[in-house]
Amino acid sequence: THQKARIMQLSTMFVCLLLVPSLTLAASRCAEKLKADIYILVDTSGSMSVNEFNTELSFVVGIISNFTIGLSDVQIAFGLYSTKFVHQFDLNKTTNKSTIIEEVLGKKHLKGYTYTYLALEKITQDGYLSSPTHGSRPGVRKYLLLVSDGTSKDRTKTLAAAKVLRDNGVTIIGVDINKAVQTETREVTGNASNFFHVAKFSNLASIVPQVLGRIYQISKLSK
């Protein structure tokens, strides 16, 4: 089917990104053993087109494709948000990478407004990164990868909700897609080194190695 062909094409394209000569450092990090629980949270508000939303999903696939998925390796949870937050699947849903990728690429554009704080609050309240019921593993580094194209409807609540996550041991990686750098996403991370910016959606693929490299760097430093 067209969907399966798209999945295979994207997986092949992104799994090779870290192997180009200019990115040998990132590639060496990617070859290291990584054990992490990662929640990927994607903005799907009405400020972006359907094609731009699909580009976000392709970026997510680029990230996931470079991980070894498994109970002793990386676990992925996924959610979308706009006016409402929609949790898509838990960390322990499956260890099959192809199934995860197919799930991600099958999601629809929600439209609506950018209520980032609602998503962050629900991730904390429902324990998506802390409860064994949702697949959280004790002693394993927790990450939240936030992909957003703009500022939220309530900056104060968003920053407060992000701080709660960070205080609970979650490392937030922020990806901002906007012509001008949006300081809110940077502040959500609590660390400028965990913030990445692109001016347009078509540039997202270019930062996959940098985002992966930062995750591996943090994991190595925390050992």
What is the secondary structure of 143-208 as a DSSP string? EEEEEESS--S-HHHHHHHHHHHHHTTEEEEEEEESSS--HHHHHHHTSGGGEEEESSGGGGGGGH
Mean pLDDT over 80-98 rounds to 96
Distances (CA, A) of 136 to 127, 139, 140: 8, 9, 8
Neighbours of 190 (CB within 10 A): 17
| pLDDT averaged over every residue in the chain | 87
Domain extents for the chain? 35-221
With 0.75 as the threshold, say if the pTM is over it: yes
CATH number of the domain located at residue range(s) 35-221 in this protein? 3.40.50.410
DSSP-assigned letters across all residues of 6-51: HHHHHHHHHHTGGGSGGGHHHHHHHHS---EEEEEEEE--TTS-HH
CA atoms within 13 Å, Cβ hemisphere of 16: 6
Specify the pLDDT at position 150: 78
Indicate the pLDDT class of residue 31, thresholds 50, 70 and 90.
very low
In this predicted structure, the answer to whether residue 18 has a pLDDT above a threshold of 50 is no
DSSP state of 68: P
In this predicted structure, the answer to whether residue 30 has a pLDDT above a threshold of 80 is no
Distances (CA, A) of 16 to 11, 27, 70, 125: 9, 10, 20, 37
Secondary structure (3-state) at 141: strand
In this predicted structure, the answer to whether residue 58 has a pLDDT above a threshold of 80 is yes
Indicate the pLDDT class of residue 12, thresholds 50, 70 and 90.
very low
Distances (CA, A) of 137 to 79, 97, 133: 19, 19, 10
Neighbours of 186 (CB within 10 A): 17
